[in-house]
Amino acid sequence: MRLLNRLNQYQRLWQPSAGEPVQATVAELAGRCFCSERHVRTLLNQLEEAGWLRWRAQSGRGKRGELTFLVTPDSVRSGMMEEVLHKGQHQNALALAKIAPEQLRHLLQPFLGGQWQNNTPTLRIPYYRPLETLQPGFLPGRAEQHLAGHVFSGLTRFITDSTLPQPDLAHHWQVSDDGLSWHFFIRSTLHWHNGEAVETVQLQQRLLMLLTLPSMRRLFVSVKAIDLPHSQCLRFVLHRPDYWLPFRLASYCSRLAHPQNAQLGCGAFRIASFRENLVRIESHESFHLNHPLLKAVEYWITPQLFDEALGTSCRHPVQIAIGQRDELTHLRPVSKSISLGFCYLAVKQNGKISPAQARTLMQIVRRHEVIGSLPVEEGLITPSTEMIPGWDMPAWENKDPVKLPRQLTLIYHLPVELHVMANQLKGYLATLGCELTLIFHDAKNWSGCEPLAEADLVMGDRLIGEAPEYTLEQWLRSDVFWTHIFTPGQYTHMQTTLDAVQIHPDDTARYASLRQVFSALMQDAIITPLFNYRYQISAPPGVNGIELNAWGWFDFTRAWLPPPSMA
């Protein structure tokens, strides 16, 4: 990058005198810049033409000339960043930022939050970690799941104001009286992000590819075939009725990418850049639903953004700050909610822990003084009182605690609060004569976790989507976690139970049946929720339409920035 090299050279000239005028020979200046005398003369001319400095040479070899600095490197760098951002050269902007990590926070402030760049409304979000590549099927990270929902479309979709699936790629759908045949009528004006028209056969191909993934096959176990009765219709033929089918197709894991390109979708935004330090999505001009007012959304990711004063979401992943946080008078909380998702404790059904011992363990961990003693920011978590609204936890009778096994193994994964809770539990159980071995699984889910098979207790985090009841059914259906919690016989019985639940056409009856399933799991001390997070989004003035959704994020299609003349 030529601009970066020029700025590097200017800094080398500036640093020895900290910007004060200096007397120097051409040879001395060439030594500072690690270049030849001929090159440094060319450089001085270029910098003088740019208005950065003034060079007054003296005639004669070895004579000292006068070098006067007219601008600071910081001001030059800020001007360069604005210039490259106006040109859409976002990688160059991050390259410029990296040359001065100690001043990164000050440098990035003017460019975070909502900005109109070159008449383009752009939202820039500082983010605390690289985003994983969006892959078909289930994704581990909440941010990746949310992003996939904007890049890809499904046959159906969830919206913020409803827990029922709505039309998306399918204009509408019909189901046969016996519940075994579902027709999804595909819109005729769909386009992929590359401008290519969507063909129904492409959607069929991607759906069949999804069903080759083990977790997705478990989710769609009732699907016998997917065929095309005509060019604008997809038909699902089922082994048994499944009235969760529109819900399953609306989940982020069922969003459809191009069959030949897993990064190409037809959602509201297309991927413009997906790199370790910058993810940029831009609005899709041919989107088939309401078009977003934002032109682009960017995640700016660099190691230097691990700075609490900057206000990135590294402060805690459930608290997102759009823009800089050091001007707290301008950055305001715009949306708060208690997450429906929860951290949980599960007891493996391997015969080592009796039901009475399991209840004792859960009563110990669930006690409010244990959760309340976690060293987290006030207001970040709240102890769970129900699994989801209306699904109450059991109130066990207070009996004398039973003697626990002498040794137990607990495995847990992120978030960080579970690390603290695991260590607190280890210390408390030691006073009861139970040695607790801790295993940390450094991931956001249990995929590929071999030590899970050896654990007696499990702690993890369960996200809950827009349709809470369905999300819990999907969890039981698809998560490999349950194959380790249940015995093989229990797991088979659970899947059979879910088969019986899904055949109810009436949503209310289906919800009630599923509630009974989870009530039994809690009553039998197989699983219990521990605490919920309190989601919060903060934004600077001028960023509008921010409302928390079920994932603790906000709908990018609803956010908007007033034009500069109206801000």
Domain map (residue ranges) of the chain: 2-71, 77-132+268-331+540-566, 153-254, 342-534
pLDDT surpassing 60 at residue 45: yes
Quote the pLDDT of residue 171.
97
CA distance 157 to 127: 26
CATH number of 342-534: 3.10.105.10
Instruction: Tell which residue, 85, 110, 123, has the closest CA to residue 562.
Output: 123
Q: What is the pLDDT of residues 222-246, one digit of tens each?
A: 999 999 999 999 999 999 999 999 9
CA distance 305 to 295: 24
Give start and end residues of each alpha helix (H) in 432-506: 468-478, 481-485, 488-502
Quote the pLDDT of residue 27.
86
Answer positive or negative: Cα dihedral of 128, 130, 133, 137.
negative
CA distance 12 to 31: 10
pLDDT surpassing 80 at residue 537: no
More confident residue, 25 or 308: 25
Q: What is the pLDDT of residues 282-320, one digit of tens each?
A: 999 999 999 998 999 988 875 543 444 333 333 455 566
CA distance 104 to 310: 10
Decide if 487 contacts 471 (C-beta within 8 A).
no
- Confidence label for 469 from pLDDT (cuts 50, 70 and 90): very high
CA distance 407 to 62: 81
Q: What is the pLDDT of residues 102-140, one digit of tens each?
A: 444 444 454 455 666 667 788 888 777 889 999 999 998
Instruction: Calculate mean pLDDT across residues 152-177.
Output: 94
Instruction: Tell which residue, 66, 40, 70, 68, has the closest CA to residue 52.
Output: 70
pLDDT surpassing 50 at residue 85: yes
Count of CB atoms within 10 A of residue 201's CB? 12
Does 153-254 match 77-132+268-331+540-566 at the fold level? Answer: no
Average of per-residue pLDDT values in the chain? 84
Instruction: Calculate mean pLDDT across residues 550-560.
Output: 84
Cα separations in angstroms, 51 against 56, 70, 154: 14, 7, 54
Length of the chain: 567
More confident residue, 79 or 94: 79
Quote the pLDDT of residue 409.
96
Say which amino acid occupies 210: L
Question: What SS3 class is residue 564?
Answer: helix
Say which amino acid occupies 567: A
Phi, psi of 304 (to 5 degrees): -70, -15
CA distance 415 to 421: 11
Decide if 81 contacts 95 (C-beta within 8 A).
no
Q: What is the CATH topology of the domain spanning 77-132+268-331+540-566?
A: D-Maltodextrin-Binding Protein; domain 2 (3.40.190)
Here the tokens at position 432 are 């009861």
Decide if 104 contacts 288 (C-beta within 8 A).
no
Instruction: Calculate mean pLDDT across residues 506-515.
Output: 97
Cα separations in angstroms, 296 against 45, 96, 116, 538: 38, 21, 10, 19
Instruction: Tell which residue, 38, 25, 30, has the closest CA to residue 12.
Output: 30
What own/partner pairs with CB < 8 Å and gap ≥ 24 does 482-487 have? 484/348, 484/446, 484/452, 484/453, 484/455, 484/458, 485/346, 485/347, 485/348, 485/349, 485/458, 485/526, 485/527, 486/349, 487/349, 487/350
Quote the pLDDT of residue 311.
36
Instruction: Calculate mean pLDDT across residues 17-43.
Output: 85
Instruction: Tell which residue, 549, 498, 546, 503, has the closest CA to residue 521.
Output: 498
Instruction: Tell which residue, 251, 167, 259, 258, has the closest CA to residue 478.
Output: 251
Decide if 124 contacts 112 (C-beta within 8 A).
yes
Decide if 197 contacts 191 (C-beta within 8 A).
yes
Quote the pLDDT of residue 445.
86
- Confidence label for 260 from pLDDT (cuts 50, 70 and 90): very high
More confident residue, 173 or 54: 173
Report the top-level CATH class of 153-254. alpha beta
Here the tokens at position 531 are 């605490």
Give start and end residues of each alpha helix (H) in 312-415: 355-366, 368-372
Which helix (DSSP H) or strand (DSSP E) does residue 12 occupy? helix 2-14
pLDDT surpassing 90 at residue 70: no
Which helix (DSSP H) or strand (DSSP E) does residue 460 occupy? strand 457-462
Decide if 218 contacts 205 (C-beta within 8 A).
no
Phi, psi of 268 (to 5 degrees): -65, -25
Q: Pairing relation of β-strands 527-539 and 342-347?
A: antiparallel
Q: What is the pLDDT of residues 402-461, one digit of tens each?
A: 899 999 999 999 887 888 889 889 998 999 999 999 999 988 889 889 999 999 999 999
CA 523 to chain CA centroid, nearest Å? 33
Q: What CATH architecture does domain 2-71 belong to?
A: Orthogonal Bundle (1.10)
pLDDT surpassing 70 at residue 556: yes
What own/partner pairs with CB < 8 Å and gap ≥ 24 does 324-331 have? 324/105, 324/108, 324/109, 324/112, 324/113, 324/126, 324/540, 325/538, 326/105, 326/109, 330/540, 330/541, 331/538, 331/539, 331/540
Question: What SS3 class is residue 536?
Answer: strand
More confident residue, 210 or 82: 210
